[in-house]
Every structure is written in structure tokens, then in C-alpha cells.
């Protein structure tokens, strides 16, 4: 696969890449791989995200057609978020990286500790 355009400052894929691979974007995609979630459920699941950052990231991912936002006509208002087919495909790819990271975190931490011992 040719990747030349991604390196161009004018390539629109850079903005999408930024949304998908941001700290909150990755975690939201992974959470939604498990199914539809309400805003408050996502906030609880994605520890450490502020309401503002969650809302902003959801808007970005919705704008990139990665997630669907459905507002249900009930009182109080009920909004649900789920992955679109494009979002599911992207989330599966992000999951591969996340799985690799979780398996290799002990190795990474050991290598970092070894490097620090070597520079002391």
C-alpha cells in the first residue's frame, strides 16, 4: 500500500489519524467495540477523561463517520453512541495495537529500567 499522502502536511487523513490515535480516541473506540454506550457509561469506562474531552472526542469521531450518535426521545434525554462500519474496522485495527501493548508492557518496562541502569 502506498503511503505518500499521509506524510503531506495538506493530507486530510492526518486529522482523522489524529482523532483515531489520540489517547481518548483509542480508548473510546475500544470501549465501543464492546457495544453501544451512553455518555455517562463511556465516562465511567474511560477512566480519567473529563466531560469536556469526552464530548469533544465523540464529536470528532462522529464527524469522521467513525461513530453514530442516536438521541432517543425520552425524558431525561438519552443519547447512545455506537461504532459505524468504518469505526468498527478502525477500532479492530486499534485493538490489535492495544493488545500488543498490553502483552508487551512488562517487556517495555523492563527495557526502560535496564536503559536507566545503563545510564547511571
pLDDT in tens, 91-118: 999 999 999 999 999 999 999 999 988 8
Residue 88 exposed, middle or buried by CB count within 10 Å (0-12, 13-18, 19+): middle
Q: List beta partners, residue 69.
A: 81
Q: Cα angle vertex 51, ends 74, 44, to 5°?
A: 80
Helix (H, G, I), strand (E, B) or coil at 75: coil
- Whether domain 12-118 has CATH 2.60.40.2140: the reply is no
pLDDT in tens, 4-48: 688 888 888 888 999 999 999 999 999 999 999 999 999 999 999
DSSP, res 22: S
Cα distance from N-terminal residue to C-terminal residue, the chain: 43
Amino acid at each position: 500500500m502506498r503511503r505518500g499522502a499521509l506524510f503531506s502536511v495538506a493530507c486530510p487523513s492526518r486529522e482523522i489519524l489524529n482523532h483515531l490515535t489520540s489517547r481518548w480516541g483509542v480508548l473510546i473506540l475500544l470501549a465501543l467495540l464492546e457495544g453501544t454506550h451512553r455518555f455517562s457509561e463511556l465516562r465511567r469506562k474511560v477512566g480519567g477523561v473529563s466531560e469536556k474531552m469526552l464530548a469533544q472526542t465523540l464529536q470528532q469521531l462522529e464527524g469522521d463517520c467513525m461513530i453514530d450518535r442516536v438521541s432517543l426521545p425520552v425524558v431525561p434525554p438519552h443519547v447512545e453512541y455506537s461504532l459505524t462500519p468504518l469505526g468498527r474496522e478502525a477500532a479492530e485495527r486499534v485493538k490489535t495495537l492495544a493488545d500488543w501493548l498490553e502483552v508487551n508492557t512488562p517487556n517495555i518496562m523492563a527495557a526502560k529500567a535496564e536503559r536507566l541502569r545503563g545510564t547511571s
